[in-house]
């Protein structure tokens, strides 16, 4: 779970991209999880016929519903950072997304709409849907390798206060995201935009400069005073560690209280949320510090325990245990003086690759082709007159609505968002975010005038709220208990007169990993013998996937055959040429299974096929049993499963059934059920795990660089540390880079299919399941005919919220 937390901020990046296509410019990553969780689904841009009223309209109110009755949506707790620039959680992000628009939108498969002004029609599931946005974009790849993204924006958009959205707002928003002192989740500045590095160089936040100077004593300079220096290090040494520990606690409460609270500390989610002592206890237990907890322990005590575990090395403790932020970041965030920019050298006055060509057109030039860039360039456009200072806008003289290096006016509005989205933010009070319809919304004033986001202290409150009539729409964890409770409320049906369920595939998938560095023959991980050894194991484990997934999830998940989420446009389909069930051929390439085979026959056939792979790997096989392993290989390997010590994991049955089957041929698959899932990530980082069961959280773009490129094996300089498979294949590396260097989706899909085939051939990953998430609606109160049709992972319930009505 530590690994999950460390990458949380990065995952939020692309999740945010698909919420009204907002906060674009974030690094595409995938995140490992020990246990599948019910993540908040990303949303995307609305698609109704665009209209821009000349004068404010009032919401259409059909006969029946009270126009003053709000639509109430149940949400997990908010952090009150409702800013398109500085939000940190998916829940806060959903708040500002209701108030915002971005340059581009996406369709139901997550593909970017490039002609949004007039509308672009795309077929989904046999139905044509037309999608709109406030801009068009044309992509022009130049002979010199540079790429121009030529944008045209609409000239009739208004913010919710009636002020027009103009090119000045686009420029302002771009430069805020690219400011040298900007420290929000969006990484538009990370794109290879011509001149970006020159613009951001020569300036840094005062806090970063102090941190770089070190704690050994103040030396006179023009960038910070001795008082500021001492103030920084005082906070860093005495408070920032406590902040870091509190972030871990908050993360654990938000993500694990519902699923693990009772198992780990004997308290329910509601009890934990209501009691700060329980929160500390959960945070310590989930992070592997349960033994250090004592009654009344605080976040400061937690930090002390962490540092003690690292023998006083606070820097090492931070690098391993952080839930995402560093002590320096907490220190800088504590004081505007530390956030302010200071000039450290020469820098360009503007970003050379950002050119305004007319009042409605601009161009962004990239140094090279980057397939993911389109997701980052459709950033949210925020009002300069609200977040900045219109008097400071003079494009020709390199003034963009704020003083470079001073984002104080933007930060000041963090809790009060405003934009041109379907709703306008009114207030956040007593756990409720209040919205009112934006009469100027370019796709039509929402038909439901009032919208409330109701904070739910526990996951159970979401479902209970719908059943009891307090909540209209929400996203409970789609567990077996949730399904049973819904069916009970509906008189035995999943969809009924109380609750209507809409399921979508989760943006991620479950898998079993095999470390090539540990499961090989003779220490050579890419040899045919090593691959055959791993295929012998994978073949038997793969045959039990249907049994295990059905037993754990029922109809809430399905078995997959390639290591990629079904949500991705790059995922192979069963009708594609070359599609094959994972690990379904023997050592000679012949099919293992025939149509009409019973489950028992398949199990026997898989075991027989595994003997062929073992023999090809150099194992001695006599009378259908393994009697000796080749040099560097073993007759026993471990499989680690974070099942809380109780087998509570969707792949647990795979491992135990495979263990029993292997035992009959003289091979020992040792199943290690971990009571503390953080042990898995520590073991993987140390390359101490043969096999493991986990899940990946994915993003809209299927870029495979972070996980499968050779340079990202843990321990290598500059590595992301995510290639725990230890797959290092030159052909795979080149295919990944080739796919990255093209914007042709059809070409990229071919490249990624080739990548997936190589990964399967290495047998370092067994794809297991694609699970589902759920959005539930009150059948009694929501007019379901007005809800966004064909909701998908990338096109959420609120994508066309302007049309949603109560009964």
Q: What is the pLDDT of residues 383-421, one digit of tens each?
A: 999 999 999 999 999 999 999 999 999 999 999 999 999
Reported as a single tens digit per residue, the pLDDT across 90-118 is 889 999 999 999 999 999 999 999 999 99
pLDDT at 59 over 70: no
Q: Is the pLDDT of residue 266 over 60?
A: yes
Lowest mean pLDDT, pick from 156-170, 211-225, 248-262, 321-335: 248-262
Nearest C-alpha neighbor of 45 from the set 132, 117, 109, 124: 132
Q: Is the pLDDT of residue 39 over 50?
A: no
In 3D space, the residue among 552, 543, 557 whose CA is nearest the CA of residue 505 turns out to be 557
Q: State residue 221's pLDDT score.
A: 95
Alpha-carbon torsion angle 90, 168, 28, 507, nearest 10: 40
Kindly give the residue spans of alpha helices, DSSP state H, lying in 490-558: 528-543, 545-553
Give pLDDT, residue 63: 54
In the numeric block, the tokens 């974030």 are attached to 26
Residue 616: closest CA among 521, 757, 729: 521
Per the listing, tokens 């245990």 go with 321
Output the CA–CA distances (angstroms, integers) from residue 305 to 254, 294, 301, in the order listed.
22, 11, 6
Distance CA 121, CA 127 (A): 10
Nearest 10 degrees: CA dihedral of 236, 239, 244, 247?
-140
pLDDT at 62 over 80: no
- Per DSSP, the chain holds a count of helices (H) and strands (E) of 27, 31
Return d(Cα 725, Cα 515) in angstroms, integer: 4
52-58, long-range: CB < 8 A, 24+ apart? 52/156, 52/157, 52/158, 52/440, 52/442, 53/439, 53/440, 53/445, 56/162, 56/439, 56/440, 57/439, 57/445, 58/439, 58/445, 58/449
Which tokens sit at 393?
């806008």
The pLDDT of residue 614 is 98
Report residue 364 as tokens. 């962004």
Residue 180: pLDDT band with limits 50, 70, 90:
very high
Q: Give the residue from 88, 109, 120, 77 showing the smallest Cα distance to 23.
A: 88
Give the lowest-confidence range in 145-154, 236-245, 718-727: 718-727
Q: What average pLDDT does the structure give for the chain?
A: 90
Are 510 and 769 within 8 A, CB to CB?
yes
Please, are residues 577 and 695 in contact by the beta-carbon 8 Å criterion? no
Grade residue 66 by pLDDT with cuts at 50, 70 and 90: confident
Q: Check residue 2 and report its DSSP letter.
A: H
Rounded CA gap, 199 and 188, in Å?
Answer: 13
Strand 71-75 to 450-455 pairing = parallel
Q: How many CB atoms lie within 10 A of CB 412?
A: 12
Model's pTM, two decimal places?
Answer: 0.80
- The torsion defined by the Cα of 538, 29, 315 and 323, in degrees rounded to 10, comes to -90
Range 245-255 average pLDDT:
91
Instruction: Give the pLDDT of residue 64.
Output: 58
pLDDT in tens, 418-465: 999 999 999 999 999 999 999 999 999 999 999 999 998 777 899 999
How sure is the predictor about 372, in pLDDT bands with cuts at 50, 70 and 90?
A: confident
Average pLDDT over residues 455-484: 90
Average pLDDT over residues 164-171: 98
Q: Tokens 């509601």 appear where?
A: 270
Look up residue 662 and give its two tokens.
């292997």
Residue 22 has pLDDT above 70, yes or no: no
Q: What is the mean pLDDT of residues 366-392?
A: 95
Please report the pLDDT score of residue 353 as a whole number. 98
Angstrom distance (rounded) from CA 255 to CA 313 = 28
As given in the structure block, the two tokens for residue 278 are 């329980």
Residue 509 contacts residue 739 (beta carbons within 8 Å): no
User: In terms of Cα–Cα distance, which of 284, 447, 552, 431 is closest to 783?
Assistant: 447
Higher pLDDT, 34 or 793: 793
Sign of the alpha-carbon torsion through 373, 571, 754, 550: positive
Closest to 648 (Cα-Cα) out of 250, 262, 249, 248:
262
Helices 240-265 and 226-238, packing angle to 10 deg: 20
Structure tokens at 369: 């082709």
Distance CA 321, CA 554 (A): 36
CA-based angle 101:103:109, to the nearest 5?
90
Residue 547: CB atoms within 10 Å: 16
Q: Tell me, letter by letter, the H, E, C secondary structure of 443-470.
A: ECCCCCCEEEEEECCCHHHHHHHHHHCC
pLDDT number for residue 479? 83
d(CA 634, CA 534): 12
Burial 621-634 (b: 16+ CB within 10 A, else e): eeeeebeebbeebe
Phi, psi of 123 (to 5 degrees): -85, 135
Given this model, what pLDDT does residue 348 score?
96
Residue 192, SS3? coil
- Confidence (pLDDT) at 49: 32
Residue 481 pLDDT > 90: no
SS3 label, residue 663: helix
CB atoms inside a 10 Å sphere around CB 368: 14
Q: Residue 33 pLDDT more than 70?
A: no
pLDDT digits (tens, 9 = 90+) for 633-664: 999 999 999 988 889 899 999 999 999 999 99
pLDDT digits (tens, 9 = 90+) for 309-352: 999 999 999 988 988 889 999 999 999 999 999 999 999 999 99
SS3 of the chain: helix, strand, coil, percent, to 5: 35, 20, 45
Eight-state DSSP code of residue 784: G
Q: How far is residue 778 from each of residues 451, 459, 464, measured CA to CA in Å?
A: 15, 16, 11
What does the H/E/C string look like for 623-636? CCEEEECCCCCCCE
Secondary structure E strands in 533-614? 557-559
pLDDT band at 8 (very low <50, low <70, confident <90, very high): very low
């Amino acid at each position: 779970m530590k690994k999950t937390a460390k990458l949380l901020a990065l995952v939020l990046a692309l999740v945010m991209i698909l919420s009204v296509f907002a906060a674009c410019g974030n690094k595409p990553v995938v995140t490992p999880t020990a246990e599948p969780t019910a993540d908040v689904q990303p949303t995307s841009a609305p698609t109704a016929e665009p209209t821009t009223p000349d004068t404010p309209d009032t919401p259409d109110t059909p006969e029946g519903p009270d126009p003053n009755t709000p639509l109430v949506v149940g949400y997990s707790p908010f952090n009150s950072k409702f800013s398109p620039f500085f939000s940190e959680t998916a829940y806060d992000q959903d708040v500002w997304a209701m108030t915002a628009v971005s340059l581009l939108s996406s369709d139901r498969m997550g593909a970017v709409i490039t002609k949004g002004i007039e509308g672009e029609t795309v077929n989904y599931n046999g139905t044509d849907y037309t999608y709109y946005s406030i801009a068009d974009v044309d992509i022009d790849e130049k002979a010199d390798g540079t790429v121009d993204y030529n944008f045209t924006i609409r000239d009739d958009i208004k913010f919710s206060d009636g002020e027009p959205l103009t090119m000045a707002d686009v420029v302002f928003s771009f430069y805020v995201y690219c400011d040298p002192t900007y420290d929000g989740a969006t990484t538009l500045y990370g794109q290879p935009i011509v001149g970006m590095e020159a613009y951001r160089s020569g300036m840094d936040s005062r806090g970063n400069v102090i941190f770089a100077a070190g704690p050994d004593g103040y030396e006179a300079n023009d960038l910070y005073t001795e008082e500021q220096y001492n103030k920084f290090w005082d906070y860093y040494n005495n408070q920032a560690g406590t902040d870091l520990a509190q972030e871990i606690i908050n993360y654990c409460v938000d993500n694990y209280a519902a699923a693990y609270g009772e198992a780990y500390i004997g308290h329910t989610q509601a009890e934990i949320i209501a009691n700060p002592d329980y929160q500390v206890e959960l945070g310590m237990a989930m992070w592997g510090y349960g033994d250090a907890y004592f009654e009344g322990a605080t976040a400061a005590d937690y930090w002390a325990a962490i540092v003690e575990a690292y023998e006083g090395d606070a820097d090492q403790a931070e690098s391993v245990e952080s839930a995402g932020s560093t002590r320096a970041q907490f220190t800088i965030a504590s004081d505007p003086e530390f956030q302010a920019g200071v000039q450290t050298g020469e820098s360009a006055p503007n970003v050379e690759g950002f050119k305004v060509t007319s009042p409605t057109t601009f161009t962004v030039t990239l140094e090279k082709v980057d397939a993911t860039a389109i997701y980052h360039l459709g950033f949210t456009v925020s009002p300069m007159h609200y977040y900045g200072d219109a008097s400071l806008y003079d494009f020709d003289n390199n003034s963009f609505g704020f003083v470079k290096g001073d984002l104080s006016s933007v930060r000041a509005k963090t809790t009060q968002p405003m934009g041109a989205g379907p709703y306008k933010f009114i207030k956040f009070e007593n756990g409720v975010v209040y919205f009112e319809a934006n009469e100027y919304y370019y796709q039509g004033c929402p038909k439901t005038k009032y919208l409330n986001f109701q904070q739910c202290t526990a996951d159970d409150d979401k479902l209970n709220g719908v059943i009891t009539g307090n909540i209209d729409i929400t996203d409970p964890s789609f567990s077996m208990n949730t399904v049973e409770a819904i069916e009970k409320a509906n008189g035995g049906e999943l969809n009924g007169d109380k609750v209507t369920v809409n399921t979508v595939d989760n943006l991620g998938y479950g898998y079993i990993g095999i470390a090539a560095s540990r499961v090989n023959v003779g220490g050579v991980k890419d040899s045919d013998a090593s691959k055959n050894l791993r295929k012998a194991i994978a073949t038997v484990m793969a045959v039990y996937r249907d049994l295990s997934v059905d037993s754990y999830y029922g109809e809430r998940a399905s078995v997959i055959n390639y290591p990629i989420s079904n949500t991705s446009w790059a995922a192979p389909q069963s009708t594609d040429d070359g599609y094959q069930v994972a690990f379904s051929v023997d050592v000679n390439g012949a099919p293992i299974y025939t149509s009409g085979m019973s489950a028992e026959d398949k199990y026997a056939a898989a075991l027989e096929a595994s003997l062929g792979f073992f023999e090809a790997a150099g194992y001695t096989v006599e009378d259908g049993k393994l009697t000796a392993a080749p040099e560097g290989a073993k007759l026993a390997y471990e499989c680690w499963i974070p099942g809380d010590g109780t087998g509570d994991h969707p792949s647990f049955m795979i491992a135990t059934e495979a263990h029993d089957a292997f035992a009959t041929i003289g091979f020992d698959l040792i199943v290690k059920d971990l009571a503390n899932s953080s042990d898995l990530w520590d073991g993987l980082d140390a390359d101490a795990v043969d096999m493991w069961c986990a899940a990946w959280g994915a993003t809209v773009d299927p870029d495979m660089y972070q996980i499968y490129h050779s340079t990202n094996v843990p321990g290598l300089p500059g590595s992301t540390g995510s290639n725990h498979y230890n797959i290092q294949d030159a052909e795979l590396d080149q295919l990944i880079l080739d796919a990255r260097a093209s914007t042709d989706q059809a070409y990229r899909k071919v490249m990624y299919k080739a990548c997936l085939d190589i990964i399967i051939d290495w047998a370092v990953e067994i794809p297991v399941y694609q699970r589902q998430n759920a959005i539930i609606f009150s059948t009694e109160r929501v007019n379901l005919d007005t809800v966004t049709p064909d909701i998908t992972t990338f096109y959420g319930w609120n994508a066309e919220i302007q049309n949603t009505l109560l009964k």
